[in-house]
């Protein structure tokens, strides 16, 4: 009986899942570094900053974070 209840519950919940809207599929993901450089650059402008980065520290345009700063 318990297994039947769980099965019906799972089937019911699977029908409740929402569809992704078309506009949500094409949103561009921005990294924190992208947002820093585009909107919040005044926070670090004319200041000394230290970065600990690796080869994957890229912006969305493919430029390395160190080169962008």
Q: How far is CA 28 from CA 11, 25, 34, 50, in A?
A: 33, 9, 11, 28
Domain ranges of the chain: 30-69
- Give the Cα separation of 57 and 33 in Å (integer): 9
Query: For tokens 């992704």, what's the residue?
Result: 20
- The pLDDT value given to residue 47: 92
Instruction: Give the SS3 label for residue 64.
Output: strand
- The pLDDT value given to residue 23: 64
* 40, 32 contact by CB (below 8 A): no
* 61, 37 contact by CB (below 8 A): no
pTM summary value: 0.53
69 confidence band (pLDDT: 50, 70, 90): confident
pLDDT tens digit sequence for 4-61: 888 888 888 777 766 666 666 677 788 888 998 999 989 999 999 999 999 888 998 8
- The pLDDT value given to residue 16: 72
């Amino acid at each position: 009986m318990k297994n039947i209840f769980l099965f019906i519950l799972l089937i019911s919940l699977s029908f409740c899942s929402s569809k992704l809207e078309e506009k949500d599929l094409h949103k561009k993901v921005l990294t924190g570094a992208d947002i820093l450089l585009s909107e919040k650059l005044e926070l670090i402008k004319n200041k000394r900053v230290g970065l600990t980065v690796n080869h994957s520290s890229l912006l969305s345009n493919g430029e390395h974070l160190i080169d962008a700063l």
